[in-house]
Structure 1
Amino acid sequence: MVKLLGQLRTLSPTRAIMGRLFLWFWATFIVTSLLAIWGSRLFFEDLQVVPIKPREIAAMTLVIDRMQFRRFNNMSLPNILARNSRGVRGRLVAVNLSDKRLISGGGPPLRDNDKEDLLRLVEQTSPIAVKRGAFKVLGPVFFERDNARYALFTVKLEMPEKQTPPIVLFLSIALITTTLLSWLFAKSLTNPILHIQGSAKRLASGDWQTRVGKAAKRLDELGHLARDFNKMAEQLESMWGSQKRLLADVSHELRSPLARLQMALGLAHQQNVDPETLARVEREADRMEALISQLLTLSRAEAGEATMQKHVLSRVLNDVFTDAAFEAANMNKQMSIEDIPQKTVVIDSMMFCRAVENVLRNAIRHSKLVTQVTFSEDAHHWYVHITDDGDGLSNEECERIFSPFYRATLARERESGGVGLGLSIAKAAVELHHGRINAEPAKHGGLRVTLSFPTSSLPKS
């Protein structure tokens, strides 16, 4: 039952701003139309004679008989009328025939039209029923009290039992018109919001050239929001470009002092300097060389520099998987590799292999025993799935591990010598092929990384 209620809540149109706007304006129009119809029937319809019901006359005669009871002798006429109004399901009004004074049994003041109708009806010798809008007047029934003669009437609010065809037609037209107008109005408000939302998602995924188009031309608050979003996107694109240029420039500039450092190390070895100190300096120099090499690779991938050629997928990946299996064996771990599809793809072989290799190395490093590689394909993409049986990551970490220099487990990365650039290079290399890479917790523990490439990377036959 709770699950069913939860599903019903997800289907509720009020969960979306367009649904709330549509229901609000639609309900406003419908209520306004109903009030207009009711008001026109209540206040602006002509006086008409309607059939009288025998039980209504019987109820008024019973009131006259009750007035003769002894307990009403010392009670004022307004109080008597108020006490007996429930029996007639309406409001009792008496008219003094001598001075035409109206005596009511409580309730709001009568309208001028109703007073005029009562005064005209006192001349009737037998009871009749008339109706003006929703107000129905029944009478007169004559009685005497305190040496004065009165005409008794019943005034009640009575809506028509059946709607006339024009009213039904009017309601149908109002329903269709208000529904259409409300939907169009709500859509005109929510469409630019949805465009801005889609642009924000693309910007968050790294598409720095994303801009809001039509919504930015509006002159209302949504137009201001769209233009502010475009300004923000321009600033982010500029900042990202500056960061990439800085990264590339620093990497290139570090190459020269690193080369001189390695030359100095060679001279130091020849001069028999302390071997332990030289070994430590040499390790740090090698580490800096690896870092600079990765930074340059990342800069090249993010700059979109690629040489696309036709390659047989099994030949491209064969060396990568052979090296990975050797590395896993040295760590007493295993590789489980599915048969590589025999297909020809259009790729930059070096960047493609770097992407697969970096993901594989990360999986082997963090697996407990087995790392699996599988392949799949659908109508629009072909996939490489790499799954390890390690401790895995949280959903939040799965979204952040492709950021440069991010390390989910800092101590473990230090032990392996990682600097947090391997998966960033893999992401840039995959996007260079117009693909996508994502990570998610595996079903039975560990991490599953999927590299997807569009089928457009396949050569046309």
Structure 2
Amino acid sequence: MVKLLRSISPTRAIMGRLFLWFWATFIVTALLAIWGSRLFFEDLEIVPIKPREVAALNQVVEHIQNDRFQDAPLRGALERHSRERRARMVAIDISDNRIIPAGGPPLRNEDRDDLLRLVNQTSPIAVKRGAFKILGPVFFERNNTRFALFSVRLEIPDKQTPPILLFLTIALITTIVLSWLFAKSLTNPILRIQSSAKRIASGDWQARVGRASNRQDELGQLSRDFNKMADQLESMWAAQKRLLADVSHELRSPLARLQMALGLAHQQNVDPETLSRVEREANRMEALVGQLLTLSRAEAGEATMEKQMLSLVLNDVFTDANFEAVNKNKQLKIDEIPKKFVVVDGMMICRAVENVLRNAIRHSEFLTHISFSEDAKQWCIHITDDGEGLTVEECERIFSPFYRATLARERESGGVGLGLSIAKAAVELHHGRIIAEPVERGGLQVTLSFPK
């Protein structure tokens, strides 16, 4: 139950916190304003007087006029009866309008003025200003001086009047709407920056923060700085791809001359073992350059899309892979290829499937399985081996150029670390997705997904 409450708590998000903070501030401010206006700024009004209230005042007068209390200070008698009646007793000397209150804070100017206006009343009445209720006067004599006795009580009504309820309802709705709009205006730019950051992290170098960058506050400046950072990252990535492509092209010429020199050296009976080693390294370098060029082409988005039968596209790849598996005393199991037409670049999709499949055969113990699936949005190729597999962290990194895993898929494989990078670039060229996942029973499954 606690976990459920935490999961739905609005304070888990910055927008929820901002909303609750401003909404609570508005509500508290409104309530204090209402209470203060009722307490200090309402007009004087006459309210019905209750007989028991007049009787209570008369009882106070009787005690004060009692012969036993004639010599006691009047203020002390007022204080004692104030505590008993839970109201502040105030006496006014009729001769000079001198006000004698019971102990406590000084009377407000408004209350003093109201008392002096009521002192000439011939019979008790009750008036109210805000939350203060004044009852009196009741007259008495003490030491040959005539006094008027009043009761001042703080009386907050138990029920709110309908206009106050209406005001509170309107204030509640208004503050909720305004607080939500204000919180949304602050969090929307943050959410856009977050979304753009995720897109850049996934390889979309065109992602930018849109309207939020037009703001003239700190969030707008943050959005503009983010866009500048994205521009620099895109520029650096483009420069890296150009450098990779240029270097690959430039290496082709010296490689060709090296192979020609090797041919001449063979004709001149140079040490065959040395020539064989040089030739092996030259061939390896040529393969690396070829893979770099393929990777550059895929990342540059160069594709020739044609509508083709899927089985015809993959037939040669599977035939060669089966031949390779047999030579390594391993088994390749291929499910029936769906009889469907797909719009693909045949060469690039073959390179993607071939690189993943050869990698799976190389690291499998015995069996490599190829299966297919599809739904309303995409169709997939699943390539599963029964090798040692990879960790989850390695599964996320094996598609990076020149990355080598730390388990069975080590340097003895003989590759250069570009095969899966080419596969990823080729799949993304078709707006698809490639992922690797460990298999529970051991091994690795690579899924190539393509949109319909």
1:397 has 2:394 as partner: yes
120-129 or 444-453: bigger deviation: 120-129
TM superposition score normalised by structure 1 = 0.84
In 2, the alpha carbon distance for the partners of 1:449 and 1:265 equals: 40
Q: Is the CA contact 2:313–2:350 (under 8 Å) kept in the aligned structure 1?
A: yes
1:343 is displaced (CA, Å) by 0.5
Q: Aligned residue for 1:351?
A: 348
Q: Is the CA contact 1:60–1:88 (under 8 Å) kept in the aligned structure 2?
A: no
Q: In structure 1, give the amino acid aligned to 2:298.
A: A
1:138 has 2:139 as partner: no
Aligned in 2, Cα 1:95/1:365: closer, same or farther, shift over 3 Å? farther
CA displacement, residues 173-228 of structure 1 (integer Å, 9 cap, x when unaligned): 32333333333333333333322222222222212222333222333323222222
Equivalent position SS for 2:410: helix
Q: Is the CA contact 2:91–2:101 (under 8 Å) kept in the aligned structure 1?
A: yes
In 2, the alpha carbon distance for the partners of 1:268 and 1:75 equals: 135
Equivalent position SS for 1:361: helix
Q: Aligned residue for 2:164?
A: 167
Equivalent position SS for 2:173: helix
Q: Aligned residue for 2:202?
A: 205
Q: Which of 256, 259, 279 is the equivalent residue of 2:256?
A: 259
Equivalent position SS for 1:345: strand
TM superposition score normalised by structure 2 = 0.86
Aligned in 2, Cα 1:75/1:34: closer, same or farther, shift over 3 Å? same
295-304 or 442-451: bigger deviation: 442-451
1:435 is displaced (CA, Å) by 1.5
Give runs of aligned pairs for residues 149-188 of structure 1, distance below 5 A.
Answer: 151-188=148-185
Q: Is the CA contact 1:127–1:141 (under 8 Å) kept in the aligned structure 2?
A: yes
Q: In structure 2, give the amino acid aligned to 1:341.
A: P
Aligned in 2, Cα 1:428/1:127: closer, same or farther, shift over 3 Å? same
1:190 has 2:156 as partner: no
Q: Aligned residue for 1:458?
A: none
Unaligned residue ranges in structure 2 (runs of 5+): none
Q: Which of 277, 285, 288 is the equivalent residue of 1:288?
A: 285
1:61 is displaced (CA, Å) by 6.7
Give runs of aligned pairs for residues 268-417 of structure 1, distance below 5 A.
Answer: 268-409=265-406, 412-417=409-414
1:428 is displaced (CA, Å) by 0.9
Equivalent position SS for 2:342: strand
Q: In structure 2, give the amino acid aligned to 1:298.
A: L
Aligned in 2, Cα 1:421/1:75: closer, same or farther, shift over 3 Å? farther
**Between Structure 1 and Structure 2, how many residues are aligned?**
452
Q: What is the alpha-carbon root mean square deviation over aligned residues?
A: 3.4
Aligned in 2, Cα 1:39/1:370: closer, same or farther, shift over 3 Å? farther
Q: Aligned residue for 2:11?
A: 14
1:48 has 2:48 as partner: no
Q: Aligned residue for 2:31?
A: 34
1:35 is displaced (CA, Å) by 2.5
Q: Aligned residue for 1:448?
A: 445
In 2, the alpha carbon distance for the partners of 1:142 and 1:439 equals: 98
Aligned in 2, Cα 1:366/1:118: closer, same or farther, shift over 3 Å? farther
In 1, the alpha carbon distance for the partners of 2:137 and 2:395 equals: 86
Q: Is the CA contact 2:127–2:134 (under 8 Å) kept in the aligned structure 1?
A: yes
In 2, the alpha carbon distance for the partners of 1:87 and 1:444 equals: 85
CA displacement, residues 285-309 of structure 1 (integer Å, 9 cap, x when unaligned): 2221221111011011111121111
Q: Is the CA contact 1:59–1:87 (under 8 Å) kept in the aligned structure 2?
A: no
Aligned in 2, Cα 1:448/1:11: closer, same or farther, shift over 3 Å? farther
Aligned in 2, Cα 1:61/1:331: closer, same or farther, shift over 3 Å? farther
Q: Aligned residue for 1:238?
A: 235
Q: In structure 2, give the amino acid aligned to 1:24.
A: W
Q: In structure 2, give the amino acid aligned to 1:432.
A: L
Q: Is the CA contact 1:137–1:153 (under 8 Å) kept in the aligned structure 2?
A: yes
Q: Is the CA contact 2:390–2:407 (under 8 Å) kept in the aligned structure 1?
A: no
Give runs of aligned pairs for residues 1-150 of structure 1, distance below 5 A.
Answer: 4-53=1-50, 56=53, 85=82, 87-97=84-94, 99-124=96-121, 127-140=124-137
Q: Is the CA contact 2:305–2:345 (under 8 Å) kept in the aligned structure 1?
A: yes
In 2, the alpha carbon distance for the partners of 1:366 and 1:66 equals: 108
In 1, the alpha carbon distance for the partners of 2:394 and 2:141 equals: 94
Aligned in 2, Cα 1:382/1:66: closer, same or farther, shift over 3 Å? farther
In 1, the alpha carbon distance for the partners of 2:80 and 2:443 equals: 82
Aligned in 2, Cα 1:380/1:412: closer, same or farther, shift over 3 Å? closer
1:370 is displaced (CA, Å) by 3.9
Aligned in 2, Cα 1:135/1:311: closer, same or farther, shift over 3 Å? same
In 2, the alpha carbon distance for the partners of 1:17 and 1:72 equals: 68
Identity %: 76
Equivalent position SS for 1:386: strand
Q: Is the CA contact 1:88–1:154 (under 8 Å) kept in the aligned structure 2?
A: no
Q: Is the CA contact 1:398–1:439 (under 8 Å) kept in the aligned structure 2?
A: yes
Aligned in 2, Cα 1:11/1:366: closer, same or farther, shift over 3 Å? farther
1:244 is displaced (CA, Å) by 0.9
CA displacement, residues 79-135 of structure 1 (integer Å, 9 cap, x when unaligned): 665566554344444445555444444443321111122333444565543211111
1:322 is displaced (CA, Å) by 3.3
In 1, the alpha carbon distance for the partners of 2:415 and 2:71 equals: 105
1:355 is displaced (CA, Å) by 0.9
Q: In structure 2, give the amino acid aligned to 1:195.
A: R
